[in-house]
Structure 1
Amino acid sequence: MRIVTVGGGTGISTLLKGLKQFREIELTAVVTVTDEGGSSGIIREEYSVPPPGDIRNNLVALAKDEEILGKLFNYRFSNGFLSGHTVGNIILTALSKITGSFTKAIELTSEVLAIEGTVLPVSESLIRLVAVYDDGTISVGEKEIMNQKRKKIVNIYIDKPDVFILPDTKDALENADVIVFGPGSLYTSIVSNIIVNGFREAVRKNKRAKIVFVANLMTQSSETYNLTLSEHVKIVEKYLKREMDIIIVSSSKIPEEILKSYEKENSIPVKIDMNDQRVIATDLCDIIKDVDGRLKLRHDPDKIAKVILEHVRRY
């Protein structure tokens, strides 16, 4: 079964960790290239290469030896002139400069990590997102979009309308048995891939693929403030110009103390407001501690992989 996941860094890397356990799957991750924050943003600006952070996350998720090499690639310097940069980002940047190709750099890094699958950028071009809000204001760049709180995006596009998806990415979409959108930030991780020229056409050309949407656990004040499940789905379908076949959402009971911490950031669980046979609502949530010891919600890799496979096989 050829499964293509579409998104950004944290969301689909979690999904990949679960899916890679199933040997009958041929996995491809299609990753957005519009990140402008942190180490990726600095590298993008100073070295004119696509932001490597989201790519690195997915390479590590698929690594055969995630324990050792994964930790090395994700090691982030905390002081000195390399402060904020990860080893993986530096390696991908160096290989891009050596080979003259970001895609070749990913290919070589994939060999080093002996990954269980393929990671592809949606494009090699340096593109930026432009968001238009319902009040008429505009934000340029993912960093600025993420800083806008409690505003409704009515349209989003890339600043270079002539940019096309990579041929390998196009081939992966056209030949997939299953295409999974998310989990991940609705606009900056999912729609940011869809709006690159050639993406929609490749998905539309593939008549047999089952199209799956995996909703985030929580809303985001910068992109999906108070949006319900149906609103998430409508937005993805609007840009993709194709309906979802399967919609997966978490119905996990979240502890009150964690809900309160998210509410401080204007974030609430995605409300399930669809009475639709396509919707699969089940327990998908995992609770982890971040580097600062705070409790955070994440999708459970094994649960989400099993739910996807169970329902695409049944469909």
Structure 2
Amino acid sequence: MSQTAHSQALRVVAIGGGTGLSTLLRGLKRFVSPPPGAPTPQDSRCKDAPCVIHDLSAIVTVTDDGGSSGRLRDELNMLPPGDVRNCLVALSEDEHLLSRLFQHRFQHGDLGGHSFGNLFLAALTEISGDFAQAVQTSSQILATRGRIYPSTTVNARLSAIMDDGSIVRGETNITQSKRSISELLLEPSNAAPMPEALEAIEQADLITIGPGSLYTSLITNLLVRGIPEAMASTNATRVYACNLMTQANESLGLSASQHIEKIFNHAHGRIFDYALINTAPILPATLEQYAREGQTPIEADLERIRALGVEPIVGNFVHEGNVLRHNYDNVAEVVLAIGQRGRIA
């Protein structure tokens, strides 16, 4: 994957939200070139070969309305900071310390339930008067190895048409509904993206979407006017990282190809070329744990994926701990290898 010159390295854009995006960013940041004259970070993969990523940007969903993020959104009339906070931690130089600090959640009093990182972003938003500027200032303070853009700076909220025709409003209510989602909507429907986010997509060599909750982490970004159009028209190599398991209230019973179909339907077109699909076995004890919530491994129906014009890339992308996560090292290496092949082609 190494490049012979810094100028040939990739411009990478990662789109998503929740823990899925921050997990992927942890893997990608290890391949980011340090600024000229700066020391190579200890966790970098660039010690023995040129870095693969010249520029890394994350486009993050901002439709959460629950927990600390929802409270700050309602009380301070600001965008929800939670997903952005996770990305700041993932891309920071000193992730261990900042993870403990930014993820610290107060237990008592009026601050009970709030995380320090959310309050940090809320304070900077009040100081600057602009959430996007607060995110950029936070990135500078934390020396992140990439830029972070909210998918929109409009105070937008989700609604969903369910399989029985009913309409549920608000992300929290949608994820708690017992009905299946037929269509996800953004209110207002004309919410505009940040120009910088569209520029990053336009200039990218490699774009990733996922992993993450099908509707509330991935599709929500594609409802922002201009983002799916930019993804459809870009010359970048586009890769979807499919989830490991189906998810209650979002994707129970859906195969990998059905995940892709839902994304394409909401984006009104094919917006990626490859799909990373896990085919490695998962421990029986872990499967039993997830089965209690009706969750199962996502079926790798490879021929149906190919019929959609998408090339499946299969492999072992699992990290098993207290909860299932993608192995961010494996995922980062594979998507970057795909990006490099696309650049050469």
Q: Paired residue for 1:248? A: 276
8 Å CA contact retained: 1:102, 1:124: yes
SS of equivalent residue, structure 1 residue 6: strand
SS of equivalent residue, structure 2 residue 65: coil
The alpha-carbon deviation at position 185 of structure 1 amounts to 0.4
Q: What is the rounded CA distance, in whole Å, between the counterparts of 1:155 and 1:9 in structure 2?
A: 20
8 Å CA contact retained: 1:75, 1:86: yes
**Superposed counterparts of 1:1-315, under 5 Å:** 1-23=10-32, 24-25=52-53, 26-149=55-178, 151-206=179-234, 208-240=235-267, 241-275=269-303, 276=306, 278-288=311-321, 295-315=322-342
The two structures, once aligned, show a CA RMSD in angstroms of 1.2
Q: What is the rounded CA distance, in whole Å, between the counterparts of 2:198 and 2:180 in structure 1?
A: 31
8 Å CA contact retained: 1:63, 1:70: no
Q: What is the rounded CA distance, in whole Å, between the counterparts of 1:159 and 1:117 in structure 2?
A: 29
Q: What is the rounded CA distance, in whole Å, between the counterparts of 1:170 and 1:314 in structure 2?
A: 24
SS of equivalent residue, structure 2 residue 93: coil
Q: What is the rounded CA distance, in whole Å, between the counterparts of 1:153 and 1:9 in structure 2?
A: 19
Q: What is the rounded CA distance, in whole Å, between the counterparts of 2:140 and 2:104 in structure 1?
A: 19
Residues 179-210 of structure 1 deviation map (CA, whole Å, 9 limit, x = unaligned): 1110000110111000111112222332x111
Q: What is the rounded CA distance, in whole Å, between the counterparts of 1:63 and 1:51 in structure 2?
A: 20
The alpha-carbon deviation at position 313 of structure 1 amounts to 2.0
The alpha-carbon deviation at position 239 of structure 1 amounts to 2.1
8 Å CA contact retained: 1:59, 1:110: yes
The alpha-carbon deviation at position 243 of structure 1 amounts to 4.3
Unaligned runs of 5+ in 1: 289-294
Residues 67-102 of structure 1 deviation map (CA, whole Å, 9 limit, x = unaligned): 112321111112222111111100101110111000
Amino acid at match of 2:73: R
Q: What is the rounded CA distance, in whole Å, between the counterparts of 2:152 and 2:239 in structure 1?
A: 22
SS of equivalent residue, structure 1 residue 72: helix
Amino acid at match of 1:119: I
8 Å CA contact retained: 2:68, 2:114: yes
Q: What is the rounded CA distance, in whole Å, between the counterparts of 1:120 and 1:230 in structure 2?
A: 29
Amino acid at match of 1:199: I
Q: State the identity as a percent.
A: 40
Amino acid at match of 1:175: Q
SS of equivalent residue, structure 1 residue 64: coil
8 Å CA contact retained: 2:239, 2:274: yes
8 Å CA contact retained: 2:276, 2:312: yes
Amino acid at match of 2:98: L
8 Å CA contact retained: 1:127, 1:158: yes
> With structure 1 as the length reference, what TM-score do the two structures score?
0.94
8 Å CA contact retained: 1:6, 1:31: yes
Amino acid at match of 1:30: I
8 Å CA contact retained: 2:189, 2:223: no
Amino acid at match of 1:192: T
Q: How many residues align?
A: 307
Q: Which has the larger radius of gyration?
A: 2
Greater shift in the superposed pair: 53-62 or 263-272:
263-272
8 Å CA contact retained: 1:153, 1:223: yes
8 Å CA contact retained: 1:133, 1:155: yes
